[in-house]
A and B are shown apart, each in its own frame.
Chain A
Amino acid sequence: MFITRIFYGIAYFIILLFEILKATIDVATRTVTGNVEPVVVEIHTELKRPISQTILANSITLTPGTLSIDLDSEKQIIKVASIIPKEKGDIIPFESYIKGMLE
Chain B
Amino acid sequence: MDTITLIKSAILIISSVLVLLSAIGIIRYKDDLERVLYARVHILGIADVGCILALLVLGQPLLAATYFILAPFANHAIANAYYYGEETR
Contact = CB atoms under 8 A, between A and B. Distances in A.
Contacts of A40: 35, 38, 83
Contact of A64 (B34, B35, B45, B76): B45
Q: Could you say which of A20, A24, A31, A69 has the most chain B C-beta atoms within 10 Å of its C-beta?
A: A31
Contacts of A3: none
Contacts of B28: 31, 34
Contacts of A32: 21, 24
Contact size class for A?
20 to 34
B72 A27 contact: no
Contact of A67 (B29, B49, B76): B76
B18 A81 contact: no
A38 B18 contact: no
A38 B76 contact: no
Contacts of B42: 27, 36, 38, 64-67, 81, 83
Interface of A: 20, 24, 27-28, 31-32, 34, 36, 38-40, 57-58, 61-70, 79, 81, 83
30 contacts: A27-B42, A27-B43, A27-B45, A28-B21, A31-B25, A31-B28, A32-B24, A34-B29, A36-B29, A38-B35, A38-B42, A40-B35, A40-B38, A40-B83, A57-B72, A58-B69, A61-B71, A61-B72, A61-B76, A64-B43, A64-B48, A64-B49, A67-B38, A67-B45, A67-B79, A69-B80, A70-B80, A81-B79, A83-B38, A83-B42
Interface of B: 18, 21-22, 24-25, 28-29, 33-36, 38-39, 41-43, 45-46, 48-49, 68-69, 71-72, 75-76, 79-80, 83
